[in-house]
Amino acid sequence: MATQIRIGVLVVVAGIVLVALAVSRTEAAKDEFRFDAAKLKDRNTWIQVNDKPYQMPAAVAALCAPGALVPQNPHASAYITVYVNKVGRESMFAKQAQRFPEGSIIVKEKFNSPEDRKPLLYTIMRKRATGYNPKVGDWEFSVVGPNGTELQATGKLENCQGCHLGKSEADFVFRPYVTSQ
């Protein structure tokens, strides 16, 4: 009888562990974000923010120090086309800077010149849940290679955070490229 009880307890404990692992995997899957540049043209998901490529100002470019992620400053002499998902649309186009809601995603497609069609890379800001990264308003930063799917770095990237810290009054987002919608 005692052996049967021990076996029963072990089965219950094993079941609880399996359920906990399944819930943990489900939570991680919900938080996973996979970027695919080919989908930027999907107007049901993405809104193009600027009408024409925007050249990053030298002063902003100087704030972005070269790092191990990208062999050169990703903003120097770069032209960007910016996209925002529907969650972040209202905040992006607001006249006054406001906090972006959780789930907002901002994508910067970077080119050498305004005529280029092949991107150098993509940088992405994704607004995460409160407490993820309070230092910079809970933003997660990612760098995706020119193929549009190869994730080069993601998380609390010091390179990105160092620059965006200076925009705390605007929820850590630069918006000089915004054209009215």
- Express each pLDDT in 85-138 by its tens digit: 999 999 999 999 999 999 999 999 999 889 988 998 999 999 999 999 999 999
**Sequence ranges of the domains in the chain:** 1-32, 37-170
- Partnered with residue 46 across adjacent β-strands are 85
Rounded distance between C-alpha atoms, residue 157 and residue 135, angstroms? 11
**pTM, entire model:** 0.77
DSSP per-residue string spanning 6-22: HHHHHHHHHHHHHHHHH
Beta strands (DSSP E) in the chain are 46-48, 54-55, 79-85, 105-111, 121-127, 139-144, 151-155
* Cβ neighbours, 10 Å, residue 86: 14
Going by the DSSP 8-state scheme, the letter that residue 119 receives in this structure is: -
What pLDDT does 159 receive? 85
pLDDT one-digit tens code per residue, 2-49: 655 555 444 433 343 333 333 333 334 446 778 999 999 898 999 999
pLDDT surpasses 60 at 75: no
